[in-house]
Amino acid sequence: MFLLLPILFAWSCGKEPETAQVDETIAEVASTMDVPVDPDTTDQIPGGQYLIDASSEKTASLVRERLNQLFTEDLKIGIIDSLSRKFIFFEFDLNGDQSKEILVGLTGPYFCGSGGCTQFILNDKGEVLSKFTVSDYPVVIAPDKTNGWSDLYILSGGDYRVVKFNGKTYPSNPSVLPKLGMLPGDGLPRALDFMNDNYPWFSF
């Protein structure tokens, strides 16, 4: 409680403290009260109720660093709007090597159009393995594998497309790939399914 007094004092004086300081103070208070830190305070989901594979602060920092590197110039000149500077992720071992890859979903007018949005797959070091365009959510992880990697069912143009690893990467444009021709089974893992699961949105 005492940690919150400087913030309350600053507000009472009409001087809003820096966002980073507020976040740090909230984290400190939460740790002393044994309350999970909420990674996304813009929604109604309490900290601790997000998907485990979608809420790691360490993974979010890794993804944030990579996105800032990938879009340095556009961020610098300000053409990426605030709505587009958000992302979600889902960690899943796609190739059975005991290390989880990171499926990253973007949003906003910079990254999304009528056909879908931009998505990435990163390795556990934050390196880009694949980039998808015109891809919608969710991404379903299929039971079949190609070249040792899980096939993906990605929504694109209103249909699920079968996306297979070619030995080096996944094809970047799912809209030109074969249609699945059916809805994926309910028992399959669904990545980036923020409409039905508790995903925090992170900023970069």
Query: Strands (DSSP E) along the chain, which ranges?
Result: 86-92, 101-106, 112-113, 116-122, 128-135, 139-146, 149-156, 159-163, 190-191, 202-203
Q: Which residue has the higher pLDDT, 55 or 28?
A: 55
- Give me the amino acid identity at 28: E
Q: What is the mean pLDDT of the chain?
A: 87
CA distance 107 to 202: 11
CA–CA separation, 146 and 82 (whole Å): 38
pTM: 0.81
Q: What is the rounded CA–CA span in Å between residue 64 and residue 134?
A: 21
The answer, yes or no, to whether residue 32 has pLDDT greater than 70, is no
pLDDT of residue 41: 87
Domain boundaries, the chain: 1-35, 44-203
Instruction: Note the pLDDT tens digit of each residue in 13-26.
Output: 444 444 445 455 55
Average pLDDT over residues 154-171: 96
Closest of 77, 75, 100 to residue 85, by C-alpha = 75
The DSSP code for 184 is P
| Alpha-helix runs per DSSP H in 71-191 | 72-76, 108-111
Q: What is the pLDDT of residue 166?
A: 97
